[in-house]
Amino acid sequence: MKEEKKKIQNNFIVAAGLLALFILYTVAIMFVDVQPIGPQGSSVGFAEVNQYFHTLFGVNMLLYSITDWLSIAVLFIMFGFAMVGLVQLIKRKSLFRVDSSILVLGGAGYIGSHTVYELIAAGENVVVVDNLETGFRKAVHPDAQFYLGDIRDKAFIDSVFEKEDIDGVIHFAASSQVGESMKDPLKYYSNNLCGTEVLLESMVVHGIDKIVFSSTAATYGEPESIPILETDPTVPTNCYGETKLSMEKMFHWTSIAHNLRYVSLRYFNACGAHPNGKIGEAHNPETHLIPLILQVPNHQREYISIFGTDYDTKDGTCVRDYIHVNDLAQAHILAMNYLRNGGKSDIFNLGNGVGFTVKEVVETAREVTGHPIPAKEEARRAGDPSTLIASSGRAKGILGWKPQYADLRVIIETAWKWHQAHPHGYKAD
């Protein structure tokens, strides 16, 4: 916090000042004749300094005048402050570096909450802003500073930047359901675009110059070639993807006009849960494949619907690139550090580069859960592209990203652990 930082800096200044005075004073009484401070107001040299310390613990001290006592007291107070300053200095490694915070917008949501956990594990101070429309207060790490509010509220977002010492922003605060975006596009324009516009205005005014943005493969629309490269055409087929693409463009033009750099991370199919079992995926309504499949062994659903079996894929069902949420979280940390190290604005795909069909995902879930998981073949879901697989070579090469949970089985195991322990998400906790 800013006030706290100022207080600590003031202490440092006092301690450093006193340390300097202490050194000056010691040097002065050692090598210079100082009048009138010194035993009995006499000239003071090295021998007299020894005498000071000797007499401090001996009866002779009583013979000294009040000025001698005062000078001894001042000397020890200075020494005490100097030591405190030194200890703080060693502890913090640097005199004026008081850790600032990363502001995570939407830090109570699925990917946001996992990123907050990983940021805190990496030793960062984290401030979370969330309007809790789709996020959960219980998903916020207890060590994060939480503010309840909406990024469209300019006064609110300004107040956060004024209260907190923010080094950079990670932006997840957006609506993210494809189907809903087609039914209520203006909600997406309001939350995603207006929210980001207000945020950027406030960032520019407060001199915050780094932002990592949660984007999506939905910016590409129907891909022309697989795997998808960042340079491929972006022709979104739904309003959600359209608003995310517009947000990216807003960052682009703002970064040209102002002192701001951004990294946009285009995720493929986020899934899995934190291996600590404390946080996981909880959407209402749930529309994603893996949590829906796991509702069957969790006795919340009788079967899983397979949407479309006539796609041009190996078993006729859609192919997706499933990427673990903790790997996504790590990519945000790497992206923020990349910007801290002066990296230029850029866009990166995040996926494992391997595709699984819907039927393969269902089969893996059967193996993990030991449940037969009945499946029902149904018609295609509107707007589903047949195959989405990322090329993430740039994220690996430039950010140094190395996914740790690339195995689909491990991904489903982490999700299963979460859903078994929290069948109703955060609500029943």
Q: Would you say 158 or 384 has its CB closer to ligand UDP?
A: 384
Angle of the 195-205 helix axis to the 154-163 helix axis, nearest 10: 40
Question: Nearest-CB residue to ligand UDP?
Answer: 318
SS3 state of residue 372: coil
The CA-based angle 25-27-32, given to 5 degrees, is 95
Contacts of 121 (CB under 8 A, 6+ apart): none
Which residue, 83 or 226, is less far from ligand UDP as judged by CB?
226
Q: Outline where 189-275 has alpha helix (H).
A: 195-205, 239-257
Interacting residue ranges for ligand UDP, rule: CB under 6 A: 269, 287-289, 292, 304-307, 318, 320, 358, 381, 384
Please identify which residue in the block is written with the tokens 């910007």: 339
For ligand UDP, the closer CB: 278 or 283: 283
Among 145, 152, 201, smallest CA distance to 173 is for 152
Task: Calculate the alpha carbon distances from 140 to 136, 137, 187, 328 in Å.
Answer: 7, 6, 25, 17
How many Å apart are CA 127 and CA 406, to the nearest integer? 29
Least distance to ligand UDP, CB of residue 221, Å = 13
Q: How far is the CB of 406 from ligand UDP (least distance, A)?
A: 18
Compute the least distance from the CB of residue 205 to ligand UDP, in Å.
35
SS3 content of the chain, % helix, strand, coil (to 5): 50, 15, 35
Using the CB atoms, write b or e for 272-281: b if 16+ within 10 Å: bbbeeebbbb
Nearer to ligand UDP, 201 or 377 (CB): 377
**Separation between Cα atoms, residue 368 and residue 142, nearest integer Å:** 31
Query: Are the C-beta atoms of residues 118 and 279 closer than 8 Å to each other?
Result: no
**Residue 358 CB, nearest approach to ligand UDP (Å):** 4
Contact of 247 with 198, CB cutoff 8 Å: no
Closest CB 218 distance from ligand UDP, rounded Å: 7
Among the listed residues 240, 322, 338, 405, the single catalytic one is 240
Residue number, 290 or 395, with CB nearest to ligand UDP: 290
Q: Which is nearer to ligand UDP, 136 or 220 (CB)?
A: 220
User: 286, 297, 285, 278: which is closest to 138 by C-alpha?
Assistant: 278
Minimal distance, residue 321 CB to ligand UDP, in Å: 9
- CB count in 10 Å sphere of residue 407: 14
Strand extents, DSSP E, 50-199: 101-105, 125-130, 145-148, 166-171
Residue number with CB closer to ligand UDP (304 or 323) = 304
Is position 322 annotated as part of the catalytic site? no
User: Is 311 within 8 Å of 401 (Cβ atoms)?
Assistant: no
Q: How far is the CB of 319 from ligand UDP (least distance, A)?
A: 8
Catalytic center residues = 240
